[in-house]
Amino acid sequence: MSAVIDQVVTRIVEAARAEGRAALLDPEGFELLDAMDIPIPRQLFLHSAADIEPAQLAMFPGDRIVLKVVTPRILHKTDVGGVLAVPKEHAVVTAAVQSMEQSFASHDVTGFTLNEYIHHDIALGSQLLLGMRWTEDFGPVVTLGPGGIHVEFLAENLKPGSALAVFSPELTPDDMIESVLAGDAVTRLVTQHIRHREARISRELLADLVRKFLAVASVSVPHDIVEFEINPLALTGRGPVALDVLVKLGDGRTPVREERPIQKIRHLLEPRTIGLIGVSQSRNTGHIILENILQEGFNQDRIYLVKPGVSTIDGVRCYPSITSLPETVDLFVVSVAAARVPEIVQEVIGSEKAESMIVVPGGLGERSGTEVLEQGVRFAIAEARSSSWQGPVISGGNCLGIRSVPGRYNSTFIPEYKIRSQPGRGAPLAVISQSGAFAASRASRLANLNPRYLISVGNQSDLTVGDYLSYLKDDPEIEIFACYVEGFRPLDGRQWLSAAADITASGRSVILYRAGRTAAGAAATASHTASVAGDYSVTRELAQTTGVVVADTLADFDDLTRLACHLNGSSVTGWRLGAVSNSGFECVAIADTLGRFYLPSFTQVTEGKLDGVLRAAGIDSVVGVQNPLDLTPITADSLFAEAAQVVLADDNVDIGIVGCVPMTGALNTLEPGQGHSESLYDEDSIVSRIARLRQTTSKAWIAVVDGGPLYDAMAAVLQRHDVPTFRTMDRALRVFEKYCGGRLQHDRPQISGPEEPSK
């Protein structure tokens, strides 16, 4: 922001604060806009109706004028009759001001403004809302969406992500601003020629307005300004004009995110020694945790239990107190009643007996009456942070625990036989979940992947989801980061997104499910910029800008995580889809569910090879070579697989999908059994052949097995061979589109382009 604008902001804000006001008056807001070089109507301030002179009206063009009441007590004047358009006649204007004086006599009126009447269309696509504000999760954000009378309607009826573009001074690179705008439906509505209507504004000019707001937001929000909104920003024949402005003031302070020694997370994830408290000789929660740790292969001689009056439990040594532990442990797990947690944390910190802790008990700070207990924990942590040691990092409370393949331990209290993860070094996947139950569910659903880390964060009394992602982003063994978030600690959303941006820039994947979405919250966000703090739409838009893949449903979260794991190392270079199926209905479903994908023509070389496949299958008189390729149920295993390989190898194809309706007798799709001679495990079966295709191309592709429970085994075998497999074509394409969009996030979707003909 230029020094001139900075000076204007400081002068106006300080004067308003001196008068004890929490918001700027209309003339002050327009003065800020004028300093930012954002077009505004001509304006004249009046103390009363007696100040109006005919010569003053002559300065305004046209035959109408807009009258506004000026009072610090009314922020949205239109709703209460504080804005009125009248003929530009001295007697009429005077009478209108006198009427307003009477109507607002009890509202501490400062005066009135006469404003130039700006002729503009109020039809859809003629008014925008441009605003900036402070959000607790992400700091300052700038939002652009529909304005005027269509705000609520569009917010309720457009699909998520279509009615709001969100930017961050810190997280949105300058060269991404126009790309973000290109992906917003409302922006496209006003920047593109539509039939006989010319574009209302150029995307370049709109991006320039966003940049001006970002510049002010970066230095003035929140200490001087907490909210700054133009609504509407009218798109007129002479360009954009701000017709109304709202500016709310900050209190002079700028919140700062609490920093933690995240390098100590190494002790938490790969401990050399573990201490536990809360293990009984009976099978309580603590005892289950001990069993799980031992079952993962952790050295029992490096585990210490705090249990007075007992020498050993399950062969592990016990000690009478925390202070009697033989050494400072890397990790100390607390599984006791919530009321005991503060004293234990204080004792661990006071004796410096642990570098990290997992606090299992729930309820701290969540149930009425536990606030004091949580404050005790926070106070002990804060005291330790001020020392050179900095104290332990703590995961929890209300924390399920952590399962770490590299650390060879599982501190969750879910019995291992309830999940049965696959043995091995683990997939290059880290699951970070704020919910313990969600983490347990994912451990079960993703058991065949065996995540390298399964982390339950709990209520973030200390370590946050942003801390974990910031630490793990530098782990070269992790390619996919799957995060479930219910809420960020103050400014931790910004920390999380910054780490996510680094991850996606390195070519790796971040998948997010953001819980806590409500219809009421979405409606409020649409109405006024002030309501976006912590809202799901802001999280979604900023996350997608940084390349994060945002899951719309829990099922999508699972599918996207599997996709990212199975397709790790595969390339996604564009939206050109090559498709093969042995069913006409699937070919139709592909065409009906394309989304951003499009179906290119095959090269002549590919057409020649496919024509040979169709002749060999005896179906060349029934179907022709096209994309998607319909092989019909007659085509047998070898020719089906050959056709799929040829399509995936085509130079015009970026990614692929292979659909199989497995009930046909021409394919080996069943496990061995009575009444048939099939075996999907045979080397020559379609299942084995499709599995081998995974090794023949670096392109990302997926499979569909559209059949009932008889074909679960077929799908499972393909999944085990890293072939992402869905059970219906429409779901496969919808999730695959979401995944590819994240991989191609720098190429935001256009209406059409030289390589993507209009659909």
DSSP 680: T
Indicate if 582 and 685 belong to the same structural domain. yes
Crossing angle for the helix pair 203-220 and 3-18, nearest 10 degrees? 50
Q: Kindly state the average pLDDT of the residues 518-542.
A: 55
Q: Is the dihedral of CA 634, 636, 637, 640 positive or negative?
A: negative
Query: Is the residue at 298 inside a domain?
Result: yes
Is residue 393 located within the same domain as residue 434? no
pLDDT value at 517 more than 80: no
Say what percent of the chain tops pLDDT 70. 91
In a domain, residue 755? The reply is no
Q: Which domain holds residue 623?
A: 577-743
Is it the case that residue 432 has pLDDT exceeding 50?
yes
pLDDT at 140: 96
Q: Quick one: pLDDT at residue 147? A: 83
pLDDT above 50: residue 314 = yes
Burial of 539 (0-12, 13-18, 19+ CB in 10 A): buried
Mark whether 628 and 604 lie in a shared domain.
yes
Confidence class for position 366, pLDDT limits 50, 70, 90 = low
Same domain, yes or no: 76 and 112: yes
Whether residues 655 and 549 share a domain: the answer is no
Question: 67: helix, coil or strand?
Answer: strand
- pTM here is 0.90
Q: Is residue 279 located within the same domain as residue 324?
A: yes
Based on the domain organization, do 599 and 717 belong to the same domain? yes
Q: Is residue 701 part of a domain?
A: yes
- What percent of the chain stands above pLDDT 90? 72
List beta partners, residue 143. 131, 166
Contact (Cβ atoms closer than 8 angstroms) between residue 296 and residue 408: yes
CATH number at residue 702: 3.40.50.261
Which of the 8 DSSP states describes residue 183? T
Same domain, 371 and 337: yes
Provide CB contacts within 8 A for 519, sequence distance 6+.
none
Q: Average pLDDT, whole number, for the chain? A: 89
| Residue 255 belongs to some domain of the structure | no
The stretch 399-414 carries a mean pLDDT of: 92
Domain-ending residue, one of 549, 568, 587: 568
pLDDT of residue 449: 84
Residue 754 lies in a domain: no
Pairing of strands 427-433, 480-485: parallel
Give the separation between CA 323 and CA 621, rounded to whole angstroms: 84
Report how far Cα 380 is from the mean position of its chain's Cα atoms. 33
Is residue 112 located within the same domain as residue 190?
A: no
State the DSSP H helix or E strand holding residue 65, giving kind and residue range, or none if neither. strand 64-70
5-45 pLDDT, tens digit per residue, is 889 999 999 999 999 999 999 999 999 999 999 999 999 99
Q: 487: closest CA among 135, 163, 103? A: 135
pLDDT at 163: 67
257 within 8 A of 225, measured Cβ to Cβ: no
Instruction: Give mean pLDDT, residues 500-516.
Output: 93
- DSSP classification of residue 421: P
Structural domain total, the chain: 5
Residues 165 and 213: beta-carbon distance below 8 Å: no
Helix (H, G, I), strand (E, B) or coil at 634: coil
Secondary structure element (H or E) that encloses residue 455, with its range = strand 451-456
Q: What pLDDT score was predicted for residue 608?
A: 97
Q: What is the mean pLDDT of residues 443-457?
A: 87
Q: What is the per-residue pLDDT for 428?
A: 94
